[in-house]
A and B are shown apart, each in its own frame.
Chain A
Amino acid sequence: MDARLVSEFRSIVGDAGLVTGPEQLRTYECDGLTLYRVAPDLVLLPSSAQEMQAVVKICHRERIPFVARGSGTGLSGGALPIKGGVVISLTRMNRILEVDVPNARVVLEPGVTNAAITAAVAAHGYFYAPDPASQVVCTVGGNVAENSGGVHCFKYGVTTTYILGLEVVLSDGSLVRLGGKTMDRPGYDVVGAFVGSEGNFGIVTKITLRIIKKPETTQTLMAAFNSISEAGAAVSSIIASGMFPAGLEIMDRLALEAVEAAVHPNYPNCQALLLVELDGSEREVELLMEKVGPICKSCGAGEIRLAKSEAERMAVWKGRKAAFASVGRISPNYLVQDGVIPRTALPRVLAEVERLSAEAGLRVANVFHAGDGNLHPLVLYDHRIEGQEQRAMTLAEAILRLCVEAGGSITGEHGIGEEKKHFMPVMFSAADLNAMQRLRSAFDPYQLCNPTKMFPGTDVTFQGPIAYEPHPIEKAGLAQRY
């Protein structure tokens, strides 16, 4: 990057707000999706909305594309840098500005971690509901960009359910306030449109969100099944009985093996494990939980274990939340997908996944949010073996197509990003994608905000301005430049 520009950026963010060293820049070359890597030319870490506006104004002036980045835990390559572009990190904007418990509102900067929000309000008996498994590390700004979900979103909803207001720097450097602390403000739901826009509409500098009261009690039940389809049938029966569980998770044999090796949650030994979490008033949870066991048994469950204390519950969920990382114990590499299907399609889709994986000669561990049909097939492979990585990618894509055919989605929570952008036409028509582009143009007509993501055919290498460096032959007077 042009030294002139670098020093202009430096004058805004200071030495602490700039990363230029090649080794340090490499630490930003990918996010949680390590398959694609692009080292950025420069990383900026503004510490305020004013600094953010100033750096974006320079990017706007020079037409430099930029990629906003939280903790870089995203799984679709949304924070993958653009060659020749700039990464703008939000990690220095990490303060909680206001905690209003009586109104259940929190105002904070986007670099605050998801878990830190709950930590700030736990003493009052509140929590921030969308809980992605990466919550200890991931930032709420990233959650806003991806519309993150989590284990409890079947009952409690996803990020967009909780975001009331956003302060945003648009690609021309202007600052706008969208929404606010109160509900039903006049105008278009631009906050709702912004959440999940994967950094394409602008950079968030402040967030107003809702917290909710922790339920009186929570109980988690584990049921061991001989097959996934039996576990799936139990899920359907539980829901048909009129209950509304806070969490419903299924893990298959391979996932259980990995998790046991990594974090030893001491789960029952079985082909498929179902976790059912109920929360609410003590009386209601007691009464309903009494029904869950028999429902599971009627669907063929073997061992049933109930976790009542907070410590027991934490141990149960530790295993599930460590699932992705745990497969490192049983495979050198893995690809995870994020397809969603209608719940009733679960048995046949999973049977098909099994068939496809056998055909590809690869193992697939399955972990999924059974309540909302969000699958996380973990395709295991070894990149050292010739062709396996390619076969793994092909299998992962076949699973995604399966999800769309079954009436679902190609992404339940990880986002499109870099990884699935060429897949968008599988789910959306040209007219649908055109409508999305129109919305984007209203926010970012200059196409500077993370422009290589979300849509197919957007691969871009930003070329200039780069200072011209004469070739040694030219310097020696042996050649001329026209």
Chain B
Amino acid sequence: MSEARTQMDQAWTGLNAIVGRENLRPASTADAVDGMQPSGVIAPGTAQEVAEVLRYCNSAGLAVIPRGGGTKLWLGNRPQKVDFILSTERLNRVIEHAWGDMTATVEAGCKIDNLQRTLKEHGQQLAADPMRSEGATVGGLLATAESGTLRIRYGAIRDLVLGVEVALPDGSVIKAGGKVVKNVAGYDLTKLMIGSLGTLGVITRAVFRLHPIPAATATYTTLLPTASEASKLVLAILDSHLVYTGLQIRAQRADQVALDVRFEGIPESLDDQYAKLSQIAGGHRFERAGEVWTARQKLFADASGSVISKCSVLPAQIGLLCDAVFRQAQPAGVTATLVAQGTGVAEVRLDAAGLQPLVGALHGLREELDRLEGSLIVEQCPVSMKQELDVWGTLKDALPLMQQIKEQFDPARTLNPGRFVGAI
């Protein structure tokens, strides 16, 4: 038997002893990450088991890919090594909904929709609207730090988390933060873990701050003939006293830009907000909108040959971004769709007949974004494209520090090796 085979047999025995036979299964092609198939899928049942699995794999030199709902596995560079998927599927409970304190403690594998259903029983919500919330888990939301359309009013997911419990590769389970909204005891490890793509530890539990579900909500939309006009109107709305909870731009061509605004609150105040919006809008007429807030999610449908990127600019540059996208796409025969939030964070989808036009358009767009001092992160793309460009973009002088942090928490690179910035 080959050495690799013996090592793998030993691993199976060792891991079986930690989680039990029924919670360790052979992987199938469906479990592949960027075309790399792991040996197996481990499903621990407690944070302690997660930590023991990590410790075992760490000392055996095995590479672990944490997975929640598996809705965003395409993120990041191609992994350097893939041995086991660590699934959080069994850590799926809402542990506590302290509705009087407006907090909830949730296990990382809990589906976001499940959480929202539970919170709704007391008229509360986690004020975040990530994509694929029926399949995505709380842990995945934290590890990827996805920001949705509600961010412009309620903050990013990092502003909604009070504390986390994390299993580290050395086998320890640590707690950071706490259960209360105001807490500055110790360093803010919670912030460090959020968005770390499971490269420092596996989040096993989180405490969220909650908000009331609004009494009523109304969304309005209008069409602008240029990105520059849309940008002007976005800025006017941002500078106003309107209490919007969503502000979004959608464009599939440079000469037709949709602008969506959402209001929430008591019904009487919604009418008042609409009246004020109309005043600000000048000649542009706002109509009641259909379902527009899932526009980002729709970009990811039937996207196996597409390139979808997260582009971030300043709010005043949204029009410039829009123009840049179509300026790069059009001559290359690339079709583009843009969905941008008033925060300056946009999702851009590019489609073309071949790979080279896409790569060319992307490089051009990234150059323009660097000039604007923004950023472009390639989120989903054909695996072969990951060899042609760095999905994360350059980091300048913060990278050595980040490498030091990785070195402190996962020196053996057990977790997601190579997937994060600088191929950490």
Contacts and interface: CB of A to CB of B under 8 A. Distances in A.
Interface of A: 100-105, 125, 146-147, 149, 153-154, 157-158, 160-161, 170, 175-178, 180-190, 192-193, 195-197, 200, 213, 215-216, 236, 239-240, 242-244, 280-281, 283-284, 287-288, 340-344, 369, 372-374, 407-416, 420, 424, 427-429, 431-436, 438-443, 454
B121 interface: no
A185 B375 contact: yes
B314 interface: yes
Contacts of A186: 375, 377, 392-393, 395, 421
Given A420-B185, A434-B174, 15 more contacts: A176-B401, A182-B314, A182-B373, A183-B345, A184-B375, A186-B375, A215-B243, A216-B241, A287-B268, A340-B178, A412-B182, A435-B409, A439-B189, A439-B192, A442-B407
B280 interface: no
B43 to A, nearest CB: 24
Interface stretch (B23-31, B98-106, B299-307, B351-359): B98-106
A92 B47 CA distance: 49
Given A369-B182, A409-B183, A432-B186, A281 B396 contact: no
Nearest to A283: B272
B259 interface: no
B189 A435 contact: yes
30 contacts: A102-B239, A104-B315, A105-B314, A147-B184, A158-B182, A158-B184, A160-B191, A161-B159, A182-B312, A182-B373, A186-B375, A188-B405, A193-B187, A193-B191, A195-B188, A197-B188, A215-B243, A242-B214, A244-B212, A284-B265, A342-B98, A342-B180, A343-B101, A369-B182, A412-B183, A427-B186, A428-B185, A431-B174, A435-B176, A436-B187
Most chain B CB inside 10 Å of its own CB: which residue of A102, A158, A239, A443? A102
Contacts of A441: 404, 408
A169 B344 CA distance: 29
Contacts of A440: 187
Q: What 6 A-B pairs are tightest by C-beta distance, nearest first?
A: A192-B191, A412-B182, A216-B241, A442-B404, A284-B269, A242-B212
Contact of A431 (B172, B188, B343, B398): B172
Interface residues of B, number: 85
B174 A340 contact: no
Contact of B184 (A104, A146, A193, A288): A146
A192 B375 CA distance: 18
B385 interface: no
A236 B99 CA distance: 10
A183 B102 contact: no
Nearest to B215: A242
Contacts of B187: 193, 196-197, 200, 436, 439-440
A287 B405 contact: no
Nearest to A186: B392
B182 A177 contact: no
A427 B189 CA distance: 15
B52 to A, nearest CB: 14
Given A284-B243, A372-B180, A244 B238 contact: no
A442 B268 CA distance: 53
B171 to A, nearest CB: 9
A339 to B, nearest CB: 10
Among A342, A407, A427, A435, max chain B CB count under 10 A is at A435
Contacts of B238: 102, 104, 213
A230 B103 CA distance: 22
B70 interface: no
A121 to B, nearest CB: 12
B315 A102 contact: yes
Contact of B123 (A154, A242, A374, A412): A242
B192 A188 contact: yes
B192 A189 contact: yes
A438 B398 CA distance: 18
Contact of A407 (B180, B192, B343): B180
Nearest to B310: A184
Contact of A192 (B188, B200, B269): B188
Contacts of A436: 186-187, 189
Contacts of B398: 176-178, 187, 190
B192 A103 contact: no
A185 B314 CA distance: 12
A428 B402 contact: no
A116 B178 CA distance: 32
Given A244-B211, A342-B103, A412 B312 contact: no
Contact of B195 (A188, A196, A409, A438): A188
Nearest to A288: B266
B247 to A, nearest CB: 13
Given A184-B310, A187-B421, A413 B182 contact: yes
B175 interface: yes
B243 A439 contact: no
A189 B191 contact: yes
A409 B185 contact: yes
B22 interface: no
Nearest to B396: A177
A192 B192 contact: yes
Contacts of A431: 172-174
B156 interface: yes
Nearest to A345: B101
B149 interface: no
A192 B420 CA distance: 18
Contact of A428 (B155, B175, B409, B422): B175
Given A342-B103, A428-B186, A189 B180 contact: no
A176 B392 contact: no
A105 B373 CA distance: 14
Contact of A374 (B182, B191, B200, B401): B182
A434 B183 contact: no
Interface in B372-410: 373-375, 377, 392-393, 395-399, 401-402, 404-405, 407-409
Contacts of B192: 188-190, 192-193, 439
Contacts of A443: 401, 404
A190 B343 CA distance: 20
Nearest to B197: A188
Interface string B308-330: 00101111100000000000000
B174 A435 contact: yes
Contacts of A215: 241, 243
Q: Which of A182, A373, A411, A443 has the most CB of B within 10 A?
A: A182
A442 B180 contact: no
A224 B151 CA distance: 37
A187 B312 CA distance: 14
A373 B180 contact: yes
A205 B345 CA distance: 27
B215 to A, nearest CB: 7
Contacts of A408: 178-180
B196 interface: yes
A442 B401 contact: yes
Contacts of A101: 239
Nearest to A192: B191
Nearest to A157: B159
